[in-house]
Structure 1
Amino acid sequence: MTNQHRDWPTGRHPGHTLATWLQTRAQQVWRFTIDLAVPFTNNPCEQPQRMVKLQMKIGGCWRSVRTAARYCLVRSYLATARNHGVHPLDALRDALAGNPRTPPQTA
């Protein structure tokens, strides 16, 4: 099996591959210029992952998959609360009191 992105003699140069990809997805790539609600970068999607990578860098590793899953669950809950305008400490207090906040249902 050959890698299409490294098969330069047949015209699949990385620049050509990128140009083809951008051309086929031009409407998606430039959507942020039409719809101002769409961010022009994907940084908001990457930010929750940064803390996981930072924790791995500081601690060296996770002790178990279970612990890593719990950490990700709490981080996801706090990110969702923050995105809905709820202070993270309020969200934690309510969750520990047995009344977790849930995002509003959309149709």
Structure 2
Amino acid sequence: MLGFMDAYVLWRRMPFPRSGSTADLVLAHSDLAGADEYVTTVIRFVESGIFKPAPVDVLAELRELMLRLDRLGAAATGADLEAARSQHAYAALLDLVYRQYLEAGGSPA
């Protein structure tokens, strides 16, 4: 398993995935962007030691999003399948980073 800093560095260097062409993939992409915004609280922790978790259950949102992306990927082909897989992988990385952030800061996951 990736350690916190390795996961953090990987997330910060990973390009944000493409949206896909279906309305459902575009919506999932938008939800992924929202989750990504919440996870940016981790940056303050790494750079300044400020631990202030997001005001929502980020991990629950990411779990739900990954389930949706699994369903969308099962029905997709070609570029949309790749978009669903890329979005899912990005969401999984966000989940790992945020979960480890909560553990590092002392908040229960």
Please say whether Structure 1 and Structure 2 have the same fold, judged by a TM-score greater than 0.5: no
Between Structure 1 and Structure 2, the one with more helix by share is 2
**Greater length-normalized contact order (CA 8 Å, ≥ 6 residues apart):** 2
Larger Rg: 1
Query: TM-score, normalised on structure 2?
Result: 0.26
